[in-house]
Structure 1
C-alpha cells in the first residue's frame, strides 16, 4: 500500500521549494540536496493548505516560487524581482484602524464572534485523495529513477567508449615503442659489428704498413 504523503518545504538558491513526498529522505532526494536540510533547520514539514493543495496536485514534482515571496508554488517559477534591493525592506505591520469614539452604547456592546470554520474545506485531503496522491508520487519517483538509470547508462556507455579509445591508443603506442626498441637494438648490433670490422681493418693495416715501411727503408739503404 502506498505510503501517505506529507508536504515539505525548503529554500534553495533563488527559490522556495515544496514537494509532496512520503518521507524527509524522499524529499531531500527529489531536491537533490547533498546534506540533511531538516537537521540544519533549512527544511520543514508544512501544513499550509495552499502549499499542501499545490503539492498534492502534483505529488513527487518539485514546485517552486521566488524565495521570500508568498505566491503560489508552480513547476516553473520566475526569478525574484528584488534581488538587488537587499534586506532594506522590513516587514510592514498592517495599520490598525482607529477606534470609533462614537457614544453609541449599542456599538460598545460585545458581539458574538461567528464560529470559526475550517479553512478551505474543499482542499482537505481525504483518504482516497491521499492514496491517489501517494500512487502518483510513486509513479513520478519511478519515472525519475528510470531517467536516472538512463543517464547512468549513457554515462557508462561514454566511459566504455572513452576507455576503449584510451586502450586502443595505448596499445598503438606500446606497439610503436616495441618496434622502435627492436629497430634500435638491430641498429646497435649492426653498429657493433661495423666497429669490430673497423677495428680489425685498422689492426691489419697497421701490421701491413709496418712491414711495407720496413721494406721501404731497406730499399733506400
Structure 2
C-alpha cells in the first residue's frame, strides 16, 4: 500500500495577547488548533498566511511548534519570548492588520528576497514529517492529561461513594438506636402510668382508713 503523502506546510501568523505567534502547519484549521483559538481568526482578519522569509525559516525549522515574539516587534520568533518592554505603549499602538491574500503588483523590498524563505521538496517533506511528529506529541500529551483527569475523577468518585456509604451506615445506626430509645421510653411511660394508677388506688384506700381512725 503506498505511503500517505505528506501535507505541504505553510506559515501562518497571528497576534494573541502580548505576543505575535507563528506556526508551520498544513492548514489554517491546524494552525487555529495549535494556537488554541476558539474562533476563526482568519475570517476575522486577525491571522494570515505569511511568506516572510525569516518567519518561514523559523517556523519550518520547528514545524508544528508555536513560536512567539513580543507583539508589535520585528524580532525573531522563538519558543520562549519575553513580554513586551513597554506594555502601555504596546496597548496604545494600533495593532497591525493582517495582510490581504490579494497581493498588489508592487511588492515591498523585503519580498524580493522571499525565495530564500522557500524550501525544496526534500526539506518540505522533512518539515511535514516533523509537523506530524509534533502533532502526535500534542495528541499524546492531551490523551495523557485526559487520562489523568479521568483518574482524578475516579478517585474523587470513589472517595465520595465511601463517604456517602459511611454516612448512610451511621444514619441507619442512629435511627435504630432512636427507635430502641423510643421503645424504652414508651415502656417507661406505660410503667409510670401503671404506677400512678396503683398509687392512686392505694392512696385513696389508706386515706379512707386514716379518716375512720380519726372518728
Distance 1:88 1:215, change over 3 A: closer
Match in the other structure for 2:137: 143
**CA offset at residue 123 of structure 1?**
3.2
| Correspondences of 1:155-170 after superposition (within 5 Å) | 155-170=149-164
Pair 1:48 & 2:42 matched: no
> Cα deviation per residue 1:11-59 (whole Å; 9 max; x = unaligned)?
0111000001111111111111122211222111111121111111110
| TM-score, reference length from structure 1 | 0.83
| Structure 2 partner of 1:218 | 212
SS at match of 1:7: strand
Residue pair 2:52, 2:117 contacting (<8 A) in 1 also: no
Separation in 1 of the partners of 2:89 and 2:43?
30
Aligned residue in 2 for 1:60: 64
Residue 38 of structure 2 corresponds to: 34
In 2: Cα distance, 1:160 partner to 1:121 partner: 55
For residues 34 and 44 of structure 2, the distance between their equivalents in structure 1, rounded to whole angstroms, comes to 17
Considering only aligned residues, what root-mean-square deviation do their CA atoms show, in Å? 1.8
Change over 3 Å in CA distance of 1:25–1:120 after alignment to 2: closer
Q: Aligned partners of 2:32, 2:120: CA distance in 1, in Å?
A: 25
Shift of 1:203: 0.6
Q: Choose the corresponding residue for 2:168, options 164, 168, 174.
A: 174
Select the structure of larger CA radius of gyration. 1
Structure 1 residue 124: deviation in Å? 1.7
The C-alpha deviation readout for 1:90-136, integer Å capped at 9, x for no partner, is 9xxxxxxxxxxxxxxxxxxxxxxxxxx95154432122221111111
**SS of alignment partner, residue 20 of structure 2:** strand
Q: Which residue of 1 aligns with 2:195?
A: 201
2:21 aligned to 13, 17, 24, which one? Answer: 17
2:8 is the counterpart of 1:4: yes
TM-score, normalised relative to structure 2: 0.85
Aligned residues: 195
CA positional deviation for 1:85: 3.1
